[in-house]
Amino acid sequence: MPSQFCASRSLPNFTGTVLDKNLKLVAVLGTGAFGKVYKAIDLDSPADCPTFYAVKCLRLQPVGSHQRQQQEQEIRYHLAVAEDPRVVSLHRYFTSGEYLFVVLDYAETDVLEVLANEKVFHRRPDRVKEAFGEILDGVEALHRQGIYHRDIKPDNLLCDSDGKNIRIADFGLSTKKIRSLLLGCGSPGYMCPESLERSHPTALEGYSPKDNDIWAVAVLFCNFVAGVMPWQKALVSDPAFKHFIHHEDHLIHDLGLTKETNALLRRCFHKNPQMRPTLAEFRSAINAMERFTLADPLPSSTNAVTSNKQPMEGGSSSSSSRRSDGSEEEYSTPPTSCMPSSPSQSQADASARHAPKSGRTRRFPRRLFKAKGKHTPSPSPEPNTPAVQIERRKRRSSLQLLAKNLGLSW
């Protein structure tokens, strides 16, 4: 494991310390690869209505070093979009001795934890649309400024306890590069194939971090509607991804998706980045669907959830993580905490025929933290099914480990 991955272990515990005259650190919210995040109270705020912040602590790197440039870049890019309502506000930053402190909005929770609550998004396509309206607003705001996040995932999306008011956090891996030659930046499960392997056809010319963000949004959509990662890595060495490549209906059988949702995700996960939808096209597609999984209810009527902003596309892209010597490595940054009418009866009957059988009913979001039942193979020949089943267990285990690291019960 790279030494940077354990950098936060050398940081002292500042709980109880008063910083910058009025910020008292009262608890550790989380520890990541490079720093710790504390809950802080503003001592100047009213005692009966205190103001809380999240304070990120990093060891200040030597002037002129690559690591110092990365720290300065993280703050600079975050400040460029901090006024957007779909981005966590950065209030100020300061140094004290050999440490850098960044004062951010305090959030009740993050999307990863909310996904564990089946009452929030489970079988509620209207709520999924609302949440993705906010997420897409945030990603589009970054892209309009030519900033690409490169680590979009549930625990880097902060929100209220009811799953609303989603905001993007953690700009530690963000970039303004249009093309990137460095591989392995971000969280592997959310990265596009061209950002993962040197043997990819685009390896010599680099890949687009903007496209990588859009791929991550599509994987995130799988988290919301099915409660599971579609694969561990988008590589042919991953049995689930290989099975997806060779079987058109893989996501229907594996995640219980509708044909419309499957068609959208097959576009999102197309091997050619030029064939993938834009964020605006992705928004339009999900708003045009009544439901996303075969387990979702058949609504009599649904209103499409639209953006608070006009959908826009623009900017550049790039993606990767790097060591101080410029070599490549994989790591992730720490977390800071319209519609048609009701279908006819014949359509409903057809849906029932394709729905998972009673013994295979899946309570999707809980699968982020709890193993699902044994998967029944689809009727068509699937020689790789045993390997895919093993892969699913690995994917569930990785999410369970992530949940444990965040102190969640499952």
**Token couple for 10:** 């050398």
DSSP-assigned letters across all residues of 18-33? EETTTEEEEEEEEE-S
Distance CA 369, CA 399 (A): 6
The secondary structure element, H or E, covering residue 126 is helix 125-144
Residue 32 and residue 57 in contact, taking contact as beta carbons nearer than 8 Å: no
The sign of the torsion formed by the CA atoms of 249, 391, 269, 216 equals: positive
Rounded Cα gap, residues 14 and 158, in angstroms:
23
Q: Are 39 and 52 in contact (CB under 8 A)?
A: yes
Q: Is 55 helix (H, G, I), strand (E, B) or coil?
A: strand
Tokens standing for 157? 């999306």
Whose CA is closest to 399, among 111, 183, 180? 111
Integer Cα distance of 108 and 387 in angstroms:
39
Is residue 43 a contact partner of residue 54, using CB atoms and an 8 Å limit? no
The answer to whether 242 is a known ligand-binding residue is no
Q: Is 266 exposed, middle or buried (0-12, 13-18, 19+ CB in 10 A)?
A: middle
| Distance separating the N- and C-terminal Cα atoms of the chain | 27
Alpha-helical runs (H) found in 231-344: 239-246, 250-255, 259-268, 279-287
Binding site as annotated, residues: 56
Binding site as annotated, residues for ATP: 56
